[in-house]
Amino acid sequence: MNKEQIIPLLIYSHAVFGGIALLSGLIALIVKKGKNIHKKSGKLFYYCMLLSALTALIIAVLPQHQSPFLFAIGIFSSYFIITGYRALRFKNKNIDLKTDKLISGIMIFTAVIMVVYNPLVHQKINIVLTVLGIVGFVFSTRDLILYKNIEKLNTAWLKLHLGKMIGGYISATTAFVVVNNFFTSFYGWFVPGIIGGFYIIYWIKKVNKTQQQTQINLE
């Protein structure tokens, strides 16, 4: 198989995995959390998103297809789904956080590059990369701070899991919206994030309320 055949295959694979991730992620979002169908659809979403992001990273470094922008977005999406999935481990008392710290460190480095690349290279600001870079920097920095408090990490794992996995789904939805030009200008990059942000807040508040009620019942 020559290069002319590999690149279309990668692009097609990227789209297929992304489409499956959209559907499986939606199922995981709307069904009751913790049930078998949620776990299975969530796993399918996780692996399809990883494969979609991986193909994007490969495409972004191929000759005549080099795209620092696409590569950075691939790292950004991977960070959210990987850390969201790994957050399930944080309910355990004895956990090794070396890999988690490395992932957050890579995201911090990538986030800085996302913010400064265009001003340094092209002498102009890319609003999409800048905003996503800031978001990635804030989340990954917060991760490293939280990793220093194992007790808090043991109680925050569900909020981290929900927030990061929904963040990963926002990335998939954003890619779908942008590719299909549902919005003019750069708005498509931010509308899914704004809507998804409110959905994350809803779930965080719901988890907090449940945990507070459980604590009251224990007392």
Tokens standing for residue 194: 């704004």
Sign of torsion over alpha carbons 100, 81, 27, 208: positive
Residues ≥6 apart with Cβ < 8 Å to 23: none
Structural domain of residue 77, as residue ranges?
3-218
Tokens standing for residue 139: 């989340």
> pLDDT by residue (tens digit) across 145-160?
999 998 888 888 999 9
How much is the pTM? 0.87
Whether 55 contacts 13, CB under 8 Å = yes
Tally of structural domains, the chain: 1
Q: Own/partner pairs for 186-189, CB < 8 Å, 24+ apart?
A: 186/127, 186/128, 189/128, 189/131, 189/132
Tokens standing for residue 147: 């990793």
Q: How many residues does the chain have?
A: 219
Statement: residue 188 has pLDDT above 90: no
3-state DSSP assignment of residue 183: coil
> pLDDT by residue (tens digit) across 44-75?
999 999 999 999 888 888 877 778 778 888 89
Provide the pLDDT confidence category of residue 216 given band limits of 50, 70 and 90.
low
